[in-house]
Chain A
């Protein structure tokens, strides 16, 4: 009954006659339970978008969003805070508009388990919620076991700052306390990871802060790969704005960190032959889907969640949709913009499925803006289409900002970087 679409429900009624009708009647004593219900786990870019757009597409749907925090800080924009361009309060999002303007029920609690057999979500506070359809948008968890000497406890002192919040503030304070002439080292994971251009925007933003406050300092990026997003544009911009302050070390040149000594903030690569000592160390660990998705059996051996890339339905469970950084979405990057798009797609797919309509293949865009400096913005864009079972970029579209653009173009894209932030956060939480 719970899984029945309306058309099937009608069919069952007409075929089974009175008996079916009475049976249906028997399932409805508790009106709260009987209502069509979608539960959304996670109030980040994916989950909050899904909840809002479910209500926009189908206002009569009962939608419950579960998010532990009453205040959410976007990861995008947190590099601008590290560079001194914005305050943490500028990155803060809340859930009042989702509740009051859009009619989403908000529960601030932590999901302890998803019982897929009974379609029940268990909360730390003891509450249990039944669902017809479940949207899982848990974001990322960190792999603490890939580098010797690193651990969850070490991350308190050597911040990743790859989820915005206290970690971001810790990193900023360490940068402020660092003497002029010090070394800021970043350790960057291989693909895939959250926000592919993020580490390189961070390097530029910290360089901006150093340029004005500690100009003799150095930034070293130890990278676990040989190339990165918008590489040419970033390196060109760094040179123009910061001279030789930023050094990028690819994995083949010693960038692949294998061991760490947290006490001295030293990292080792090439079997211990290469060593870097930092005054401030930002270790961004490799990542995987958030634990609730993995514990519910929604992830595969990669640690990420396979989905039907047409509608984001889990490959493991037809009543569950996995969106955002946690899912495997073909060529789409793990970005806030992708999560926003996926939230809308999953919401539309759920509402259409409930009306017994197949999902349409949609063309969607992703644009990732990054700041190299306050007046120097660059972007990478793509149009994605679902074809032959996979999301791929439309040939001939997308790409990065032109390499030969002048300062006006860079300034305009810096303006649009903030404009993108203002619009997307309003589209998600507003």
Chain B
């Protein structure tokens, strides 16, 4: 009797979770890099695909993106606004964002 109930319980659980609208993929955590990258999309387009005159930023090798952001930050690369943005990010944040953007196609 007890065994049967346990079995039923787990089945109810699966059904209940499905009915609540949670899929297995929901269990995957949204990474910090992915979340931080969303702020870039306002100007550079969703997933880094620009809809206009501002450059796209998806798919760059991370080391290139990191080098460019650091060059914006220390003023060695000319910019209109990216220098003012890059100075607000730590090395670690730049790395996380660059690595995530590099995965986008």
Instruction: Map CB proximity to A onto B27-53 as digits: 1 under 8 Å, 0 otherwise.
Output: 101101001101111111110001111
- A269: shortest Cβ distance to chain B, in Å? 36
**A310: CB under 8 A from chain B?**
no
Kindly state the interface size class of chain A when it binds its partner. Answer: 35 or more
- Nearest-neighbour CB distance to chain A for B21, whole angstroms, equals 4
B46 to A: closest C-beta gap in Å: 5
Q: Is B81 a contact of A348 with CB atoms below 8 Å?
A: no
A17, A37, A360, A427 pick with most chain B CB within 10 angstroms = A427
A-contact 0/1 string along B7-24, CB 8 Å cutoff = 011001101110111110
CB-contacts of B50-100 with A (<8 A)? 50-54, 80-81, 84-89, 93
Establish whether residues A424 and B89, one from each chain, have CB atoms under 8 Å apart when the complex forms: no
Residues of the B chain whose Cβ atoms lie less than 8 Å from the Cβ of A31: 19
Residues of B within 8 Å of A340, CB to CB, are 42
Q: Is the CB of A415 closer than 8 A to any CB of chain B?
A: yes
Q: How far is the CA of A382 from the CA of B46 in the complex (A)?
A: 20
- Contact of B3 with A by CB under 8 A: no
> Bound complex: CA of A419 vs CA of B57, how far in Å?
14
Q: Are B38 and A53 in contact (CB under 8 A)?
A: yes
Residue of B9, B26, B86 near A354 (CB, 8 A) is B26
Which B residues touch A394, using CB under 8 A?
87-88
**Whole-angstrom CA separation of A381 from B88 in the bound complex:** 10
Q: What B residues does A152 contact at CB under 8 A?
A: none
Q: Are A36 and B20 in contact (CB under 8 A)?
A: yes
Bound form: Cα–Cα A420–B45 in Å: 9
Some 26 contacts from A to B, beta carbons below 8 A apart, are A6-B17, A13-B9, A18-B9, A21-B8, A22-B12, A24-B13, A25-B16, A34-B19, A34-B20, A37-B21, A62-B21, A337-B42, A340-B42, A352-B30, A363-B36, A365-B88, A367-B81, A381-B81, A382-B88, A396-B88, A397-B89, A419-B54, A420-B42, A420-B52, A423-B51, A430-B46
